[in-house]
Structure 1
């Protein structure tokens, strides 16, 4: 059975075995279900198979990288016709496999439904495919915490443990009318020459799944410090500030070129800054005031 979602204005199709319940398997996708409007082109078409009932096409190509993250143990392989991704919750654990074409527009997922983390695995594999597919559409999946207020979105980036979620929480506390848009993986997209931030089904440990979008009022990289200081970043500096948080297979020259082009256009349109800060009200007000001064 095919289930259609709209994420950042892109059509995402997920076909599941008839006896599987989409809302149970992908609860964070519920708010994005059946919201396709107009004649949007499908960004990503995913067909899910029960691994126990089908021969799984295991990776046969070059291993590009192994990573350990909130998704689990992920291995990425480059193959003749595209990519293969394997994922397991623990080292040596149950292996879920995704086969993708080189643009990540058509993928097949072989899922072990009896794994108690099967839903998390499917969501993670969809996140991987989606984050690469959007690169061809003037969009970027970025690791950040995002809030919105006064009809604008503000994104906070930084290494794990830097305090992105804490800074967002302080905006909610000290700036009236502020709400959380996404706490881990919002999508940035250029629409009619303007940069927008979108909520997605992927929000890390914070359940925040909102099918909303707002023009971006600013993007800031955080760095813990004993004194609050804001530095405006422009051109190359702004590019370097945003790039580490972007999801891209660096070894793929085409995907990398798409990201570079999109980021260059984004930093021309949106205020970008570096905030050295403490976790306090002063940091929030400084950040807001500096972004409003540089808002175009």
Structure 2
């Protein structure tokens, strides 16, 4: 008997089913608890079924790619159409999960591998990919960023790994009044009725910040390590390049990749005059300078 749970992230409803609840169940997904949607019997954006064996009979998958990630790696096999098998590995090279789909990630089957820790890691990865790829058709982006809420607006900070996104948002929460962390690794940005919103998500890296919150997006800022602190507005083209590297997508899938680029372009159009680069040291002054430059005053 399959045990199902319904979740809602960035106003997208999806379902996770566990075929063997004795081994794989909601306890593998503690960060998802704030996103459980009780009493939901309607439709869903995608469905992930966790079972002991892969049953979907895929066509031959002749196109194989290996990708490093910030916490492991992926092997993606495809027929260059709509069939995919994606294997997740942790940073020690352990196989954690194998997922398969044939219909644009609407229905996904997933088999977990190894210890409880690796199974949880693999399941989180699989759900995150299904969410990212499926919702690209609904003007939704999963962004590798650290984000804060300040006076009812969300501010997202993007940068290469190790540059100091988390350090900068911590400086905001410590030194800028009325500021709190929204998400420290993967907030969701979504366009609804020509307005841009940023949401918390179940994916927050090493910082346990899993908040089911929605606020308007105030600005997007790239963090650049420098010897002095100053912020500058950036052109739409420059911000497009920033965001292309920060947004999760599936480049080998023309439809998903096209959707992602279209959303980025639309996002930049809607937040024009609110795209920045912050050159900074990791100190209080950086947060003060940034706050003074990027914060919205249209309350």
TM-score, normalised via structure 1 length:
0.91
Cα distance in 2 for partners of 1:37, 1:172 equals 35
Cα distance in 1 for partners of 2:40, 2:150 equals 25
Q: In structure 2, do the counterparts of structure 1 residues 206 and 94 end up closer, same or farther at CA, with 3 Å as the change threshold?
A: same
Q: In structure 2, do the counterparts of structure 1 residues 151 and 208 end up closer, same or farther at CA, with 3 Å as the change threshold?
A: same
Cα distance in 1 for partners of 2:120, 2:59 equals 22
Deviations 1:196-220 (A, max 9, x none): 1111100001011000011011000
2:281 alignment counterpart: 278
Cα distance in 2 for partners of 1:168, 1:272 equals 17
1:183 alignment counterpart: 184
Q: 1:163: Cα distance to partner? A: 0.0
Q: Which runs of 4+ in 1 moved over 4 A?
A: 35-39, 54-60, 293-296
Q: In structure 2, do the counterparts of structure 1 residues 48 and 150 end up closer, same or farther at CA, with 3 Å as the change threshold?
A: same
Q: Does 1:155 align with 2:156?
A: yes
Contact 1:143/1:157 (8 A) holds in 2: yes
Q: Does 1:69 align with 2:69?
A: yes
Contact 1:234/1:267 (8 A) holds in 2: no
Q: Does 1:48 align with 2:50?
A: yes
Structure 1 residues 82-91 or 180-189, which shifts more? 82-91
Contact 1:59/1:77 (8 A) holds in 2: no
Residue 22 (structure 2) aligned to one of 19, 24, 32 = 19
1:174 alignment counterpart: 175
Write the mapping of 1:1-296 to structure 2, written as runs, cut at 5 A: 1-17=3-19, 18-20=21-23, 22-34=25-37, 41-51=43-53, 60-79=60-79, 80-89=81-90, 93-94=94-95, 96-112=97-113, 114-270=115-271, 271-292=274-295
Cα distance in 1 for partners of 2:41, 2:297 equals 35
Q: In structure 2, do the counterparts of structure 1 residues 155 and 142 end up closer, same or farther at CA, with 3 Å as the change threshold?
A: same
Q: 1:113: Cα distance to partner? A: 6.4
Q: In structure 2, do the counterparts of structure 1 residues 19 and 217 end up closer, same or farther at CA, with 3 Å as the change threshold?
A: same
Q: In structure 2, do the counterparts of structure 1 residues 180 and 65 end up closer, same or farther at CA, with 3 Å as the change threshold?
A: same
The unaligned stretches of length 5 or more in structure 2 are none
Q: Report the count of equivalent residues.
A: 293
RMSD, aligned α-carbons:
2.4
TM-score, normalised via structure 2 length:
0.90
Q: In structure 2, do the counterparts of structure 1 residues 58 and 116 end up closer, same or farther at CA, with 3 Å as the change threshold?
A: farther
Cα distance in 1 for partners of 2:111, 2:58 equals 10
The unaligned stretches of length 5 or more in structure 1 are none
